[in-house]
Structure 1
Amino acid sequence: MNKAALSEFWYKKHNKVFAVGFSSIALVLFFAYYLTVEILFKWTFFQSDISQLWNFFVYLVVYLIILIGNIRNDSIAYQGILMFVCYKAFDSATTIVRSGRSVIETFQGEWTPLYLLYGISWLAVAGVVFLGIFLYVRSYQYLKGSFNHFIEIRILAILFAVCLFLSISFTLFLVIAGGYSNSIMLFFLLDFADIAIGIATIFTMERLRRN
């Protein structure tokens, strides 16, 4: 393949390459996380918390839909994106409801610089909820042809992915700054998988615009 042909291929297919690439990375991280916790729990992790089994299958289906849809150039990938955005928004809303009181109580204590990062991480969790709702609605409208301002969808998708990363920034900072064992990072694999899918969302939606 000559340089001109390669440039043409990259121009037309780079969104697909990134979408498939990040979707694949997400799936690898996803399986790595659950394999790790199963080994640590001596193969009783799902037995000890049946809700985790539900989460496993729900997100596995979503990840596979996005990956396979992108590989096959199938519009089902966009349905997978809508499902992922919806589930993450719901999970984040649940987290806020469960932990909101303790977060407020934390800020009532003596101020430290760490509160800034802590606050940003929780604002990001809230951002996943609200941006997720708007991204879901606008993407659905775009698919139905009742909304045609793609730039808004692009911005929402980028901000959504950024919030997914920032939502774990505080805990990640504590682990890195505290000099904990690298094995602790294994417990972030699922979060990293969500971030990878969030990035894949951006490129999948770009493919929607070009299609």
Structure 2
Amino acid sequence: MLHLLQVALHFDQWLALFLQEYGAWVYLGLFLILFAETGLVIMPILPGDSMLFVCGTLAGAGHMSLAILIPLLVSAAVLGDALNYSLGRRFGPHLFSGRWRLQPGHLAKTEAFYRKHGGKAIIIGRFLPIIRTFVPFVAGIARLPWARFTSFNVVGAVLWIVGLLFAGFFLGRLPWVKAYLTPFLLLIILISLFPAFLAWFQNRRQTTG
């Protein structure tokens, strides 16, 4: 975990080094990282937000191309969520039967929640580390209609990818951001994790209260 945090905080240095060593192959690596973070429920701690911001800063410096990054990474995010949804739809119900023995009532609550708030959960979840890896999986368990899931999947992916790439593209040109990029990346991570921490804290208070 500590090593992954170090990679996330110094992703600009790692990425610049890989660009020098491997050139255009780095784009494939970025695609695979984002696809794994969004598509595999066991990989929720990959550096998605910091990676996108750093890619934007390098694009702003002329070392990468937004024309390649945007369609490539949007595709990775959309396909990753689609895979995660399919895995949840196929294997998720087994969590409520057999030796797993999760309460069936939880499944009913999950299905009711996604019928009412599924679209918002998919879009907002894109901006929440760790949570974004589980949202499509749970949507599959809840059997959210495929067409509805796909529409919000695409919208959420475009907003997330384009938003962070352009944030890095423009903010990365500011001298103080360049000088303090590592603390700035840490701030991005903390801000993105705050809503999840707040939800956990409120849920804990309700449980213990």
- TM-score relative to the length of structure 2: 0.30
Structure with more of its chain in helix, by fraction: 1
Question: Higher relative contact order at CA 8 Å, sep ≥6: structure 1 or structure 2?
Answer: 1
